[in-house]
Amino acid sequence: MKFLIVSDMHGNIENIDKLDSVFKEVDGVLCAGDFAQFKKTETAKPVLEKLVSKHESIFSVIGNCDEPDFIEEIENQDISVHKGLLFHEGFAIAGSSGGSVFTKTTPNERTEEELMSDFEIVENSSASCTDENGHWHNLIIISHNPPRCEKLDSPAPGVHAGSPMFTDFIKKYAPVLVVTGHIHEGAGVEKIGDTTVVNPGALLEGKYALAEFEKKDDDWILKSCELKTL
């Protein structure tokens, strides 16, 4: 099972078209939001329409540059995992939209508590979906806002925009993969406990990632997660 991972398109349609050959080889697409260009929220819908034309299995949230009610647009396209828990091919996929309150110049900035409330369905379902250690089976999290990391949430040296509460959540439930975005400078792959966290970078800048899984008994094992550039 192979997923294309994208984030931060910011109004750019051309780079989606440049991924045509990749769309054909993947089984699904994980999108961490920011469809709209900064302060030009009207640019979000054309990007969404282009993206959904490329693949039938897309799982997405929205970003801090997208208007909060843009959630309705991705719900209408049947690709939203915001505040939800969607089961697909043995995976459980959950999501959170928007960014933490940071610059206060974008339309979808939320408190850390509000962002974490998006995962209540994961916590409420944990009794029947976790192992003896409390870890989830085959859980993928898509969150525009990153957890507190070493590098993935850092827009500048010594500055971190990620959520410590989200990091604690990851350590507790051990998703097999966390997809994030938001911080263009933080493109990379790192580990939080047993979980692989990937910030693919901004597709606006030609950056994306590919994740490949293999099945072992009833578990999906992450075989590789690699950053790519157009």
Phi and psi, residue 131, nearest 5°: -90, -170
What is the Cα–Cα distance from 164 to 38, expressed in whole angstroms?
26
What tokens does 91 get?
A: 């995976």
Contact (CB, 8 A) for 141 and 135: no
Q: What is the pLDDT along the chain (230 residues), one digit of tens a residue?
A: 999 999 999 999 999 999 999 999 999 999 999 999 999 999 999 999 999 999 999 999 999 999 999 999 999 999 999 999 999 999 999 999 999 987 789 999 999 999 999 999 999 998 888 888 888 989 999 999 999 999 999 988 888 989 999 999 999 999 999 999 999 999 999 999 999 999 999 999 999 999 999 999 889 999 999 999 99
All residues at 6 or more sequence positions from 75 whose CB lies less than 8 Å from its CB, including other chains: 82
C-alpha dihedral over 123, 126, 127, 133, to 10 degrees? -120
The rounded distance, in Å, linking the Cα atoms of 115 and 166 is: 9
Q: DSSP letters along 79-94, please?
A: -B-BT-EEEETTEEEE
Alpha carbons 95 and 177: distance in angstroms, whole number: 12
pTM over 0.85: yes
Render pLDDT for 149-191 as a digit per residue (tens, 0 to 9). Answer: 999 999 888 889 899 999 999 999 999 999 999 999 999 999 9
- Point out which residues pair with 117 in neighbouring strands: none
CA dist., res. 1 & res. 12, Å (int)? 27
Q: Compute CA distances 16 → 19, 25, 27, 57, 204, whole Å.
A: 5, 15, 16, 15, 9
- pLDDT value of position 121: 96
Name which of 133, 211, 138, 221 is nearest 171 in CA terms: 133
